[in-house]
Chains A and B, each alone.
Chain A
């Protein structure tokens, strides 16, 4: 058993001639909350999406609990069962109710019976504060509510790791707090989390480690206090100046 939940070893990713990720080494320990920051196009989201195999690596290695996800013998679906993911645009299934969204994967994958899945879905809805919306359709919910359902949907698989890809970027400002509140609680409960976000206040408060991406590489990383208050690199300073004083 590996000491890390996630290990990325010299990972590269190119789309055609465009090198998006250039040699990233990143380990995430159990119960650790890692927040990735950096300008758009710096490669944060691509790195995040490679962790659960939504993007394949061009070269390098990614291990989840010590298991190489690109290896032929690895069942990527099994790996994904223990990695929850929350998307910028929620990606709820519009043809199913909130309950349907949450119970689909556990029942389809034979992890829970229909009754168990419904019972657990209700618990998850309690976690995200939406017990009264079980029968609603996604289109009837606000953005913030949809994103909380998306979190509940991911949690219903009882993941070991949660990935968040700019979970609040598509939300109206007054909705952001609810979603961050849910994430804060998850972090406190010891969930291993990798988060891409532009919410610097949240990063400072919740992160165990902040990773600054620049031009496809990790330029600098460390405790939130060190990165935000004493950045070593000029480019980190520039970036933080821009976002904090915007």
Chain B
């Protein structure tokens, strides 16, 4: 209690750091600004409370679903992501006092003739996975006779409506309002339903953090900081102030070049992460692939069985499933966190390693069996014969496959955006969440991938020529 009253004192004691998961694309509650800094109501709020209560926070923008799963797996300490307080969530987690009142609204394309839920009969509606809005939509879809399609982030959901693929979407009211303020060609129809409130979530055993949050929230409400934070992002209620608030975090030049300039350093940051992931993953996948591939050609049933099983499992599993399993499944099994970067590298190593092992094994087996017989007949042991005679010939056969695998690895890093790694694809998603410029930003991201892959291909061809000579 004393610590709460005198925050300066608690600073002196070692401050505890909590890892807080959040969504990536839930403006105005959380989104990355043009400097790629995460801002938004949720983040300002948790930071202000942390300051007030004398603890530190490390923000992890994981995406809503991944954040909730990470909390379940106790990879993180809390989630603040515009999370509606529901009975189900209260059963699973500790939920804080409400910090923002919201409701579910329906939005349709600007020119749409849909005026109410009744007009949705036979139509398709876009929802975002794991959200309260999605829950609401699913609960009434029988009654109003519409079908649903799910997306992982808000922007893709909005786009599906503006392009006309879906007739409407359901979204939390402040979020929808913010998106429209920022030029999303949608309009809100009807009244908010399921009026509820957002809360901060921790796992059941983290009462200490929950208490700090609730106490801090009360203080912010009392001293006016809370209102200031809301006003910063949503204005004081007038449409004009809302526009102004939106402009605070936006760049003005919306041309391709303008956007490229404004987001250049952010995109390059994403590219750097992609390259680091690619290089580290290629290194380990090649190592594992060669070892497992070699294991597969040793004349021993146990060795061959191990290699075959490894290849069968990790080549068979979709990369995304493997990533989620390692990042959110394994921690609950081993009882300790797996950092996203490590999870990403392990995922790529196992998957790309399995493909590499398959062609390493195949490459060795493609060498004329007479070569092994000749080497063995001279008295060379298996290992020496393999190293001196078979491998040098096998590697030549494998080189095109290696190059192919390197390019695939580079592309596959994009799948790791699912576990919140800030690589190029995730960076693109985040920029779009802020400025809603899907077409232009995805074009930039695609071009960057193509340029890098072209360079990698040139490099590979050059190496291949050197080796053949």
Q: Chain A residues in contact with chain B, CB under 8 A?
A: 52, 54, 77-78, 80-81, 83-85, 87, 89, 91-95, 104-105, 108-109, 150, 153-154, 157
Given A91-B368, A93-B371, do A54 and B378 touch, yes or no (CB 8 Å)? no
Given A54-B376, A94-B393, A157-B378, do A108 and B384 touch, yes or no (CB 8 Å)? yes
Quick check: A77 and B379 within 8 Å, CB to CB? yes
- Residue in contact with A81 in the complex, picked from B368, B379, B392, CB distance below 8 Å: B379
Quick check: B379 and A91 within 8 Å, CB to CB? no
CB<8 Å pairs between A and B, sample of 27:
A52-B377, A54-B373, A54-B376, A54-B377, A77-B380, A78-B379, A80-B378, A81-B378, A83-B377, A84-B377, A85-B374, A87-B370, A87-B373, A91-B374, A95-B396, A104-B378, A105-B375, A105-B378, A105-B379, A105-B380, A108-B380, A108-B384, A108-B388, A109-B380, A150-B374, A157-B378, A157-B379
Contacts of B381 in A (CB 8 A): 77
- Total residue contacts A-B, CB cutoff 8 A: 58
Whether, in the assembled complex, B389 has its beta carbon less than 8 Å from a beta carbon of chain A, the answer is yes
Is chain A's interface secondary structure helix, strand, loop, or mixed overall?
A: mixed
Contacts of B396 in A (CB 8 A): 95
Contacts of B389 in A (CB 8 A): 93, 95, 104
| B interface size (C-beta, 8 A) | 18
Query: Closest CB-CB distance, B393 to chain A, in whole Å?
Result: 6
Quick check: B378 and A91 within 8 Å, CB to CB? no
- Return the chain A residue nearest B382 by Cβ: A77
Interface bits B343-364 vs A (CB < 8 Å: 1, else 0): 0000000000000000000000
Quick check: B378 and A153 within 8 Å, CB to CB? yes
Query: Closest CB-CB distance, B466 to chain A, in whole Å?
Result: 16
Give the residues from 391 to 420 in chain B that come closer than 8 angstroms, CB to CB, to chain A: 392-393, 396
Is chain B's interface secondary structure helix, strand, loop, or mixed overall?
A: helix
Known: A52-B377, A87-B374, A91-B373. 12 other contacts (CB 8 A): A54-B373, A77-B381, A81-B379, A85-B374, A92-B374, A93-B389, A93-B393, A104-B378, A105-B375, A105-B379, A109-B379, A157-B378
The CA-CA distance from A84 to B384 in the complex, in Å, is 18
Quick check: B379 and A80 within 8 Å, CB to CB? yes
- Return the chain A residue nearest B373 by Cβ: A54
The CA-CA distance from A157 to B376 in the complex, in Å, is 13
The CA-CA distance from A94 to B389 in the complex, in Å, is 9
Q: Chain B residues in contact with chain A, CB under 8 A?
A: 368, 370-371, 373-381, 384, 388-389, 392-393, 396
The CA-CA distance from A81 to B384 in the complex, in Å, is 14
The CA-CA distance from A176 to B389 in the complex, in Å, is 28
The CA-CA distance from A162 to B377 in the complex, in Å, is 11
The CA-CA distance from A154 to B375 in the complex, in Å, is 10
Quick check: A80 and B377 within 8 Å, CB to CB? yes
Residue with the greatest number of chain A CB neighbours at <10 A, chosen from B374, B379, B393, B396: B379
- Return the chain A residue nearest B378 by Cβ: A105
Contacts of B380 in A (CB 8 A): 77, 104-105, 108-109
Query: Closest CB-CB distance, B391 to chain A, in whole Å?
Result: 10
The CA-CA distance from A94 to B388 in the complex, in Å, is 12
A-B complex: 9 closest residue pairs judged by Cβ atoms: A91-B374, A81-B379, A105-B378, A85-B377, A91-B370, A80-B379, A95-B392, A77-B379, A77-B381
Contacts of A84 in B (CB 8 A): 377-378
- Return the chain B residue nearest A49 by Cβ: B373
Contacts of B392 in A (CB 8 A): 95
The CA-CA distance from A109 to B385 in the complex, in Å, is 11
The CA-CA distance from A80 to B373 in the complex, in Å, is 11
Contacts of A93 in B (CB 8 A): 371, 374-375, 389, 393
Query: Closest CB-CB distance, A51 to chain B, in whole Å?
Result: 10
Contacts of B379 in A (CB 8 A): 77-78, 80-81, 105, 109, 157
Query: Closest CB-CB distance, A49 to chain B, in whole Å?
Result: 8
Query: Closest CB-CB distance, A225 to chain B, in whole Å?
Result: 32
Query: Closest CB-CB distance, A227 to chain B, in whole Å?
Result: 28
- Return the chain B residue nearest A101 by Cβ: B374
Contacts of A80 in B (CB 8 A): 376-379
Query: Closest CB-CB distance, B102 to chain A, in whole Å?
Result: 70
Query: Closest CB-CB distance, B364 to chain A, in whole Å?
Result: 14
The CA-CA distance from A91 to B376 in the complex, in Å, is 12
Query: Closest CB-CB distance, A98 to chain B, in whole Å?
Result: 14
Contacts of A89 in B (CB 8 A): 370
